[in-house]
Every structure is written in C-alpha cells, then in structure tokens.
Amino acid sequence: MRGPSPRLSRRVSARFVSPLSIRIALAALAALAGALGVLFACVDVTPIFVAPRDAGFLAEASCSVCLEDPNGCNDKLDACRADPRCAPVLACVIAIHCFDRPTLDDKLTCGLPCAAEAGITSTDDPTIAYLLDVVKCGQTRCPVACNLGDGGAAADAL
C-alpha cells in the first residue's frame, strides 16, 4: 500500500491550525470582550422615572375651589347639580377629588366609576354634556388650578 499522496498532505497541512493561532484568536476575542465591557460599563441603562406633575396645589388654588368660585364655573356646576342624573356623579367626582388630578386623562379616569355608579354607560348619555361643560369651563376659567391650560385639547374639541 502506498502512503498519502503529496497533494493530499499539502491540503491537510494548509487546513491545520496551530495551537498558537488558536491562542492568539482567543486572546483577541477576550480583548474585544473586555473592551466592549469597559465601553458598556459607562452606559447607564437604569430606567428614568419622571413623576407626573402634581396638580394638587394649595387648597385655596385647587381646581375644585376655583370651579366653585363665583368667577369660576359655579353656573355650570349648578346646572349639573339641578339635573337628577348629573348631581350624584358630580358629588362623587368632588368627593374623590377627580378635578384635582394632574391630567385631563387622570380626571376622566377618576370620574368613570362615578358615572358608572349613576348608570351612565354611554358617551351619548345627555348627562355627559353637563360634565363636559364643567370641564370646558375649567379649561377656560381655571386653566392653571385645573392643570388644563397648556398642551391640552382646545375647549371646542371637547
């Protein structure tokens, strides 16, 4: 039997990787991993929490107090109080301080259980018009105290 052909020997030796080459490649990968580790160690990925703006101003400047003021929205509140379906919703909303929540969405979300408890299950309910009138009035007459002055929807959009 003859030994391996010279052509085959050259191909095998060309593909053979020396242990030194493997060590160099591993050292290069370790150095790269270390460099990436140092790079990413400088990057802080801690989530940033920004607390919502607190609309619970001083009692004398709160939204509810402003709405009740003679220069506020007393007329709209009185119209709601005169309606037998709106009055309990308004009493509930005032009792749990929904008007003093930081955003319009917070105010609305806060008042939803009050509306549901009064049997209001649709935005088509006529009682909603009274409540929206109070919010629109708050936006125009008490924008700072009610936190409705900047960045909110236009009063006509409500």
Token pair of 8 as six digits: 């085959």
- pLDDT per residue rounded down to tens, the chain (158 residues): 555 555 555 555 545 566 666 777 777 777 766 666 655 555 555 666 544 544 444 445 578 888 888 888 999 999 999 999 999 999 999 888 888 888 888 888 888 999 999 998 888 898 989 998 998 998 899 888 888 865 444 444 44
Domains of the chain: which residue ranges?
59-157
Q: Convert 80-96 to b/e letters by CB count within 10 Å (16 or more is b).
A: beebebbebbbebbbee
Assessment of whether the complete model's pTM goes beyond 0.75: no
Nearest in space to 87 (alpha carbons), one of 109, 117, 58: 117
Amino acid symbol at 45: V
User: Which residues, in sequence order, are CB contacts of 2 under 8 Å at separation 6+?
Assistant: none
**Torsional sign, CA 115, 118, 124, 127:** negative
